[in-house]
Structure 1
């Protein structure tokens, strides 16, 4: 089976768990042939380099969603250019009207929510067909026709007042950002030597990664699987706010992401959310329940085996430590709410004077993360002024900040093992990977109730409300003062992680998913009848005729 893996900002670039799970999936299924179609999200995506792909990966094609678009000039003479511009104006008008929620054109059908989704789809596929016939669209998407269509859609009667007052500067910002998002429409990926040769397209994230899959289904009949381990619509909305975009720009771009998500869910043969938390968002965006199948991410448990085995040995004779230690492990960024963590530890320290907090952080990848980490160091010095003379010296101060890979924690497993209790203090989370790693290490945990935390922990740790330092401190003190209970929770957490979150569990689910989708959605590569009208034998696999739900034999 040939599988087209559609990625954005992840595999085959060596950065983060988003690429690592794809690498593990591909290597675990050597019986399949893979092609990778990667969209690069930013220069930082490419900065870490590409991983060495295994032999079953036939080709890797990459395109950028940032910077200047690749040069793909329009084809044909003046008449073709006029036809291209006219087709673009019509289809982009549909897309813009759908984003703004403008009324339907006369005779275009109902104006209900479903009609808006249909109009978005008509504009999207119409633009793709225009690009296929006449050449790439970046120049038109950045041109005057696109601005005119956006302005007309926003000024139409019945549109939200927020959009009716949109300025030219805001329209320019929307057009520029849409050009980046819509670049996959112009890519040369939709022929028999590319996505047309695949048996199934697997988009390993939502958002732009689904666009090539939608077009492969449209042009080639290739079935699509959509996997999301984070809520891409929510991520986009938060990113727009963090970037300081105006409300009108956020409204148009937010509706673009919602409508794109809805179309990808309607067209997908199978949707695999990474948690019930993600599944709820998908259903809210129109994903049909009968095509949803939760598949947890497969993580490399072997990296944490030694720490887990040592935790089991400690659990045989639990005892309170002279210096009870609380550990936090992760990326230092505002959503992790290290501020609440530090205030919680001040309460812990007041009641347990020997307690220590070790903050293990991944190397900062941008100025924002570095600035946040510096702010947290300053706050720690203010909260513990009498003990801040040597803020990096383990054993001399109650709070230390240590980079993963330093002598105190050569590997992530060493960081988790350093804590009698591991905390997750986030104010927002998707799928909490660091929590699963702590579970693999057999550590008792206290976590805030955000994202998929409750689903992941499943009763094997303590959960408190987010942004509540007192609750975080009280729960942590319970485990520090009850080592027997902490040991039982840690052992149960390890068993749960090994049962649900390993590579083998994940890859078995996707192996079955590929076979099921291809069996019930075969790609129509050959016509069913020859030139004389006679049936062509063996053009449709027999298993495609089987019902969706098979009756077991007795």
Structure 2
């Protein structure tokens, strides 16, 4: 099977949230071929290089939405009168969908506008320039001032329209790419697998529209939710935020509507998708898979760690609420003077990280004035800030092994990967009730409300004071993680989904094998065409067997009966008996030269 893997800001580059699971998917399903179509995040990411790719990856195509747009196909940038009229119609439909409040009409108008623009860009190019033109600005202005427009858009001004038109063009950049060839693009794949429900899925929508390729959408972090969270800190006006939120909402709805199967990574993500219109019959939860082997030594043969130490592992950012955790630990320290807290962070150089880390270190020094919290050393300090994975830093498994209880204090969380890692290490956990935490824990740890340092402290004290309970919870957590959250279960789930999708949408065949109504002709491809072996494609589009089945396909195999190649039977140019004899003579259990060819071709046999 040939899979078109659609990614955004991740695989195959060395950074990005989707990097790990996509790499495990591609390597784990080695029986399939993968074409990777990647939307990169930045020039820095591209310059960082790609991961080493396995041989089943046929090729990688990369687009850069962050870069200035250009029409690489050399088509005219200026539209004629007819093209301008088409563009105006479709961009007006898109603007009306984004600005309107009627969800039913908005979904229909968005789909018509989106696919209309895609067809225009495919035929004439120049879409990126048109989306930044005055026509787009006028369409947005009319839609924002029309009756029934969203209230938040009534105060929009021309600068707001210009900013949104720029963001819109970048989001719709996949419509102008040269990825949609029938022979060397997405038209040649058997299935599109999108790693996000946002712009990364746009090529999959067009592949389904133009070629009927089924679309599978996997979201471990819902793109629409991520957009909402990122928009809160973006320096944009209220009307622009409203327009972007409406656009991404319409896009998510259309992606979920067109997808054949949707695989959220947890029930929390599933609720978001269903709220955006995903059909429950299409949704199947597939948990992310983690490599359990790297935690086996800690989970199976560990003594439980330092019984007085709490461990936190993750990225330093405000959403992790380390401030609340430090206040909670201050209460723990009062009740248990020997308690310690180790904060082990994953190195991450992003804006705001250093500032937040310095703020947390200053707070720790303030809360424990007589025991200054050094930035690196552990020693006798009750709180230590360390990094994971450095040349002199502990590894990930060693980080979890350092303490008896692992704490998660987040106020915003999707799928808590760090929590699963702690479970694989057999550690008892204390977590805040956010995201998919309760679903992941499943009764094998303590869960408290977020932003409640007192409750967090009480739960930590309860486990620090009860080693038997810690042991029971840790063993149950490891058993649950090994059952639900391993790479093996993840790969098995996607292997089944791929086969299910292809069974409902078979591999597409040449036009001569399709009837006038667009449906495959019965028996257009006899079963003999699917003998195991290496396959190639003739100039006329039909497949010919080589290698193990090469002799049978060419009529020169062990049966020695036929002289006409297998593809001739499909075209009606050969004696079916001779061809069938040539093929069946190599089928296991029938026996080469057993006379089957004579039976099939001459009406008698010598078997």
Same-fold status (TM-score > 0.5): yes
Does 2:180 match 1:190?
Answer: yes
1:91·1:126 contact (CA, 8 Å) conserved in 2? yes
Does 2:381 match 1:397?
Answer: yes
Structure 1 distance, partners of 2:104, 2:162, is 28
Does 2:165 match 1:175?
Answer: yes
Q: In the superposition, relative to structure 1, how do residues 390 and 224 fare at CA in structure 2: closer, same or farther (>3 Å)?
A: closer
Shift of 1:364: 2.4
Aligned to 1:292: 283
Give structure 2 stretches of 5+ with no counterpart. Answer: 528-607
2:343·2:386 contact (CA, 8 Å) conserved in 1? yes
1:3·1:35 contact (CA, 8 Å) conserved in 2? yes
Aligned to 1:98: 97
1:381·1:391 contact (CA, 8 Å) conserved in 2? no
2:76·2:125 contact (CA, 8 Å) conserved in 1? no
Structure 2 distance, partners of 1:326, 1:533, is 63
Aligned to 2:3: 3
Does 2:315 match 1:331?
Answer: yes
2:197·2:256 contact (CA, 8 Å) conserved in 1? no
User: Partner of 1:5: helix, strand, or coil?
Assistant: strand
Structure 1 distance, partners of 2:518, 2:237, is 59
User: Partner of 2:98: helix, strand, or coil?
Assistant: helix
Aligned to 2:543: none
Q: In the superposition, relative to structure 1, how do residues 481 and 35 fare at CA in structure 2: closer, same or farther (>3 Å)?
A: same
User: Partner of 1:420: helix, strand, or coil?
Assistant: strand
Shift of 1:386: 1.1
Aligned to 1:272: 263
Aligned to 2:133: 143
2:253·2:277 contact (CA, 8 Å) conserved in 1? yes
Comparing 270-279 and 132-141, the one that deviates more: 132-141
Structure 1 distance, partners of 2:151, 2:469, is 57
| Partner residue of 1:501 out of 466, 470, 485 | 485
Aligned to 1:233: 224
2:71·2:125 contact (CA, 8 Å) conserved in 1? no
| Partner residue of 1:164 out of 154, 179, 189 | 154
TM-score, with structure 2 as normaliser: 0.83
User: Partner of 2:301: helix, strand, or coil?
Assistant: helix
Aligned to 2:104: 114
2:364·2:373 contact (CA, 8 Å) conserved in 1? no
TM-score, with structure 1 as normaliser: 0.91
Q: 1:297-312 to 2 correspondence within 5 Å?
A: 297-311=288-302
Q: In the superposition, relative to structure 1, how do residues 365 and 6 fare at CA in structure 2: closer, same or farther (>3 Å)?
A: same
Aligned to 1:21: 21
Shift of 1:389: 6.5
Shift of 1:137: 1.1
Comparing 44-53 and 500-509, the one that deviates more: 44-53
Cα displacement string for residues 207-239 of structure 1 (whole angstroms, at most 9, x for unaligned residues):
011100000000010000000001211110111
Structure 1 distance, partners of 2:391, 2:74, is 57
Cα displacement string for residues 12-33 of structure 1 (whole angstroms, at most 9, x for unaligned residues):
0112552111101111111101
Q: In the superposition, relative to structure 1, how do residues 454 and 532 fare at CA in structure 2: closer, same or farther (>3 Å)?
A: closer
Structure 2 distance, partners of 1:443, 1:533, is 57
Structure 1 distance, partners of 2:248, 2:424, is 35
1:522·1:541 contact (CA, 8 Å) conserved in 2? no
Q: 1:449-464 to 2 correspondence within 5 Å?
A: 449-464=433-448
Q: In the superposition, relative to structure 1, how do residues 82 and 533 fare at CA in structure 2: closer, same or farther (>3 Å)?
A: closer
Aligned to 2:546: none
Aligned to 2:274: 283
Cα displacement string for residues 261-297 of structure 1 (whole angstroms, at most 9, x for unaligned residues):
1111111110101001111111100000111110001
Structure 2 distance, partners of 1:127, 1:532, is 27
Shift of 1:252: 0.9
Structure 2 distance, partners of 1:217, 1:501, is 31
Does 2:243 match 1:252?
Answer: yes
User: Partner of 1:61: helix, strand, or coil?
Assistant: strand
Aligned to 2:83: 84
Structure 1 distance, partners of 2:394, 2:515, is 65
User: Partner of 1:325: helix, strand, or coil?
Assistant: strand
Structure 2 distance, partners of 1:15, 1:147, is 36
Structure 2 distance, partners of 1:473, 1:532, is 68
User: Partner of 1:397: helix, strand, or coil?
Assistant: coil
Q: 1:25-64 to 2 correspondence within 5 Å?
A: 25-64=25-64
| Partner residue of 2:403 out of 404, 409, 419 | 419
Shift of 1:531: 8.9
1:423·1:445 contact (CA, 8 Å) conserved in 2? yes
Structure 1 distance, partners of 2:70, 2:263, is 32
Shift of 1:73: 6.3
Cα displacement string for residues 322-362 of structure 1 (whole angstroms, at most 9, x for unaligned residues):
xx000000000011111111000000011111110000001
Shift of 1:368: 1.1
Aligned to 2:205: 214
Give structure 1 stretches of 5+ with no counterpart. Answer: 103-111, 543-554
1:14·1:20 contact (CA, 8 Å) conserved in 2? no
- RMSD of aligned residue pairs (Cα, Å): 2.2
Structure 1 distance, partners of 2:234, 2:498, is 38
Shift of 1:526: 3.1
Structure 2 distance, partners of 1:541, 1:46, is 46
Does 2:115 match 1:125?
Answer: yes
Does 2:372 match 1:388?
Answer: yes
Structure 2 distance, partners of 1:497, 1:530, is 50
Aligned to 1:510: 494
Cα displacement string for residues 527-547 of structure 1 (whole angstroms, at most 9, x for unaligned residues):
3557999985545899xxxxx
